[in-house]
Amino acid sequence: MSDEKKYVEQEEIYSQTMRAGRRTYFFDVRETKAGDYYLTITESKKFSSDDGSFYFKKHKIYLYKEDFEEFTEKLQKATDFVVQEKGEEVISERHQKDFVKPTSNKNEETLDNLEDSSPTKISDVNFEDI
């Protein structure tokens, strides 16, 4: 067995995979030349070419032990914020290629609501109660 192949086999210590639609995430524990461990997080996203063939784009993060605690803390705070602000429900149609965000102009909505109301309802408002 060559030294190169021997090094490659020893480099990856532990691995987990997470599939998420067209994306796959790899969590790999690897070993430094000094014998310590670090984590690589790789996002691999599948694309198709015009000719019908597929290719993958990969993005990789290297995370070292001295950063684990703060990274985990910041990730938890960011994910908690998203869930707190937007809830856990996934708005799946926004992930579709042809999704167009509906334009929402509150002034137009207010005008539309006023137009739908009868004039007597508007005049019945007692401003002293507000």
CA distance 107 to 129: 24
Domain that holds residue 45: 3-99
Structure confidence at residue 89 (pLDDT): 86
Structure confidence at residue 116 (pLDDT): 47
Residue 125 within a domain: no
Residue 53 within a domain: yes
For the full predicted model, state whether its pTM sits above 0.85: no
Residue 23 within a domain: yes
Residue 117 within a domain: no
Residue 58 within a domain: yes
Give pLDDT < 50 ranges for the chain: 1, 5-10, 108-130
Structurally, the chain folds into a number of domains equal to 1
Residue 126 within a domain: no
CATH of the domain at 79: 3.10.450.700
Asked whether the beta carbons of 27 and 7 are under 8 A apart, the reply is no
Residues ≥6 apart with Cβ < 8 Å to 13: 29, 30, 31, 37
